[in-house]
Chain A
Amino acid sequence: MDKLNIIYPEIFISLSIMFLLLLGVFKNNSSNLVISLSVVALIGTLILIFGYPINTNLEIFNGSYKIDYMSSYMKILTILSGIFVLLTSLKFLKIFKILNIEYPILILCSILGMMVMISSNDLIVFYIGLELQSLALYVLAAFNRDEIKSSEAGLKYFVLSALSSGLLLYGCSLIYGFSGTTNFDEISYLMNNDQYGLTFGIVFIIVGLAFKISAVPFHMWAPDVYEGSPTSVTLFFAVAPKVAALTVIIRFLYVPFINVIDQWQLIIIFLSIASMIFGSIAAIGQKNLKRLIAYSSIGHMGYALAGLCVGTNLGIQSSIIYISIYLVMNFGFFSCLFMLKRNDKYFENIEDLSGLAKNHPLISLSLMIILFSLAGIPPLAGFFAKLYIFKAVLHQSMYYLAIIGLLTTVIAAYYYLRIIKIMYFDLEKEKYDKDYNLGLKFTLTVSTILILFYFVYPSKLINIISQINII
């Protein structure tokens, strides 16, 4: 147990959760304090992750828990999303009167679950992490319990997610039954094309994970849950679980099952194409911004999966680049949503953006940049994300996938343009309140600047990510 120091971040965050829980229970009206302290705890965890040589490739607990470059990078992404969610949502929670101590603690719990998922190298550990993050997310979705939609979102998410977890667990059991081990590395030694039982197992697990990243045809929960949950939770839904689930997909497909790539490649290609097409077409008719971003995130997951199905390190890296840039764009988008507030009431329909450019030129400028970037128009960051995906895809001569992907970007451009049109071309409405808190302004500024000026030094991110080599 001398290597326990490599999981200090996880230990630290668990201890913080317990401490904050006690603090919240024993001290009255401590929710503000707890939120601040949880941000501090997350920053501390970040520092701990940075504190260890990132390039290590260490295993612990008989190889069931793995710390490597990818896991560190993805953990950093998850924790950053946690920090930004807490920073942006303070005001929102106050107005909805759901500023309870449970909120930050649940977020910390689910981040802990995600960290476990990201580092897992074993089916059981992976499942424990998954359940930890999901349980926290069920509660978060239903957090605004006086609102019927929020409760509905929580329940819906719970039922569907439990179903998917069941499928996933069934897949795990099949794999264990046919290979006799739960460790990813050991499974990979035993793999060959003849074991159909294992193939069934893979399919079930992929289905379970596709639920988590809301890939078509397992996306049905996403729009309702996105719409019903409190906006701050929607933001968390849109980013953190996707990072974790994507990491698990990468690790699961590329460590134990890389030798049977022809068995699962078609499934991922199908998921990817279906998500890209469905995400772009279904979003066109949406009137609610949160629903729209749900469909848009389905489409974006399609692109990320397109990078994963090619079966090369290049593809994995392109997916990770994609999800990183996607994260930044989502923070920007949701910060703008948090700013649409008038007299303590939040607005989330597309029509509410009407004429925003006249009253709030800066917000609408940022939102426009973010939307063009989501549509993948150069020279914004979103374009580079897509460029890398298509480069990886074309590298394996999968022309049809690239062509479908690019055609769907054109369709998707339509609904992003529609929002821009409403902001810029339509008549203005009443002004919104301007009392943004610092965290919100900070998040919006940072994400806009990152998106807008990404093209100045595009190699920075690439250089970091190109050190991720799974195969």
Chain B
Amino acid sequence: MDFPILSSIILLPTIGAFFLFFAKESKNKSTQTVKYVSLFVTITNFFISIYIWYLFDKTSADFQFLEEKEWLEGFINYKVGIDGISILFIILTTFITPICILSVINSINSRLKDFIIAILIMESLMIGVFCSLDLIIFYLFFEGCLIPMFLIIGIWGGERRVYSAFKFFLYTLLGSVLMLIAIIVIYLTAETTDLIKLYELGIDVRFQNLLWLAFFSSFAVKTPMWPVHTWLPDAHVEAPTAGSVLLAAILLKMAGYGFIRFSLGLFPIASEFFTPLVYFLSLIAIIYTSLVALMQDDIKKLIAYSSVAHMGYVTLGIFTINQQGLEGSIIQMISHGLVSAALFLSVGVLYDRFHSRLIKTYGGLVLVMPKYSVLLMIFALSAIGLPGTTGFVGEFLILIGAFRDSFLVATIATLGVILCAAYMLWLYKRVIFGALINNNLFKANDLNKSEMIFLTIIAIPTLFFGFYPEPLLSTIEVSVKGLIETYNYNLINVVENNG
């Protein structure tokens, strides 16, 4: 492959943002320009990523579409490439971004252009995270996301936006600086930060535990795992709808992806050692945050806590380190990406109409917004993991994986499914059914055209892959197998080398 196709999908949104930057800001026309340019760029990017998926060789566990270029001479090379795991996340990113932009154009009035530029730059950085095969390049993209997200929360957020933006930024920065130290230490011991070479070389067993912890501190904050999850509800509640969508659908996945790619790939011995810790934290996240979610009276906060619980399943599945568990985690991340995006968009729909996120202000919406109620039901059921939705595939595989590893852990995790059903259905009941308790609600319009479009577009893959997950599974199967083989190989090899 001569044409640098990965670099081009990384760069394309930035180029779009660059053009928008120079677009004149006048009243009505500019909205049109901004709309068309940004949608054109992001949809093109989506089709390119689908095309990459089509070209992608599913039978090989190697990294494909490799690009390497000398960057910091003698230190770091710019290296990107994808395997079956990354491609799905890239498609998720390119799929969610145009939807975000659609929703933004509808609901944001002030400084629309700046908002869209921030989203486009975010897209570039997020795709970069999923493509990069060099630790420093990964770190660059990973941290770079902080800047636009900080601005999105801070400029367009709700009342306590400043507090939330600072909390988000400082929490995640604090987590990541330790990872930076770990990356430099890896460079100094192994003389390279190239991921593929590091997979082959393995990391010195003496350092593994500390390095693993350093990486963990960064990913755990970003995932977010209990007890460092507290920034997430704040950030979600105050962020504008599109910000919440990006945060839940993609930013959180960067950490899950990081666990798979780096924690498992680089530090097998430490991963083995710390598995009980991750199990413990994941189980607490699943049970505890589900209980917390039950008691929320703010819809967005409820969904935010449910995100923490769902990510708990993801981390649980990743550290089962077997085929089903890992595949389940990846599917669960994709599913959660779609579902949480849709749920936040649905809340956005309500918020645009009634300017309230409190559950108690709603009731009986099914009478005035039937289309909305149907779509929300699909997403709520998918969040619960009802068979026939992507949520089910993911959770089911994770639980199988967990049962193979530990009966107790799997049993406790299964309890979480019940709790999830409890808070989701209760939320649905309170918002959609019952009497119309509020005069405002009578005047409500059902979904308008563009809202209908973006919610349906998300509903389609949610249901399709729920009934037929084969395309997803076949894409990741070989890569996951390869990952587990490398993992076991390094585990045994390093142990042998070090007695």
Contact = CB atoms under 8 A, between A and B. Distances in A.
Given A424-B151, A458-B72, A399 B181 contact: yes
Contact of A414 (B70, B155, B162, B166): B166
Interface string B163-183: 001100110011001101100
Interface in B67-109: 70-73, 75
Interface centre among A407, A414, A459 (most CB of B within 10 A): A459
Interface stretch (B184-192, B268-276, B356-364, B487-495): B184-192
Interface stretch (B136-144, B298-306, B379-387): B136-144
Given A407-B174, A414-B166, A463-B73, 18 more contacts: A377-B143, A377-B146, A377-B147, A377-B173, A378-B144, A379-B144, A383-B140, A391-B184, A394-B185, A395-B188, A406-B181, A409-B177, A414-B170, A417-B170, A424-B151, A424-B155, A425-B155, A459-B73
B202 interface: no
Interface of B, helix, strand, loop or mixed by DSSP:
helix
The 10 closest A-B pairs by CB, nearest first: A406-B177, A459-B73, A378-B140, A378-B143, A379-B140, A410-B174, A425-B154, A394-B184, A458-B72, A410-B173
Interface of B: 70-73, 75, 114, 136, 139-141, 143-144, 146-147, 150-151, 154-155, 161-162, 165-166, 169-170, 173-174, 177-178, 180-181, 184-185, 187-188
Contacts of A458: 71-72
Contacts of A361: 114
Nearest to A407: B177
Nearest to B157: A425
10 contacts: A387-B180, A390-B184, A391-B75, A391-B187, A403-B178, A414-B170, A424-B154, A425-B154, A425-B165, A462-B73
Interface in A388-422: 390-391, 394-395, 399, 402-403, 406-407, 409-410, 413-414, 417, 420-421
Contacts of B181: 390, 394, 399, 402-403, 406
A455 B169 CA distance: 22
B212 to A, nearest CB: 16
Contacts of A406: 177-178, 180-181
Nearest to A418: B166
A370 B497 CA distance: 48
Nearest to A393: B184
Contacts of A383: 140, 143
B143 A421 contact: no
Nearest to B161: A425
B37 to A, nearest CB: 18
A372 interface: yes
A361 B180 CA distance: 32
A417 B180 contact: no
Given A390-B180, A403-B181, A417 B169 contact: yes
B173 A425 contact: no
Contacts of A379: 140-141, 144
Q: How large is the interface on A (under 10, 10 to 19, 20 to 34, 35 or more residues)?
A: 20 to 34
A299 to B, nearest CB: 15
Given A406-B180, A414-B166, A455 B140 contact: yes
A395 B185 CA distance: 8
B175 to A, nearest CB: 10
A421 B166 contact: yes
B112 to A, nearest CB: 13
A370 B161 CA distance: 23
Contacts of B114: 361
Contacts of B144: 377-379
A456 B184 CA distance: 21
Contacts of B143: 377-378, 383
A421 B177 CA distance: 22
A417 B150 contact: yes
Nearest to B187: A391
A410 B154 contact: no
B136 to A, nearest CB: 8
Contacts of B166: 414, 417, 421
A409 B177 CA distance: 9
Given A372-B147, A410-B174, A459-B73, A378 B139 contact: yes
Contacts of A377: 143-144, 146-147, 173
Contacts of A414: 166, 170
Contacts of B161: 425
Given A417-B150, A425-B161, A459-B73, A410 B140 contact: no
Nearest to A460: B73
A418 B379 CA distance: 38
A409 B150 CA distance: 17
A421 B154 contact: yes
A378 B128 CA distance: 13
Nearest to B166: A417
Contacts of A420: 150, 154
Contacts of A417: 150, 165-166, 169-170
A458 B73 CA distance: 9
A459 B72 contact: yes
A421 B155 CA distance: 8
A407 B173 CA distance: 9
Interface in A40-73: none
A407 B174 CA distance: 7
Nearest to A362: B21
A399 B182 CA distance: 10
B169 A413 contact: yes
A163 B188 CA distance: 43
Contacts of B184: 387, 390-391, 394, 402
Contacts of B71: 458-459
Among B75, B151, B154, B180: residue with most chain A CB under 10 A: B180
A421 B168 CA distance: 13
B371 to A, nearest CB: 36
A453 B173 CA distance: 22
A410 to B, nearest CB: 5
A409 B173 CA distance: 9
A390 B188 CA distance: 11
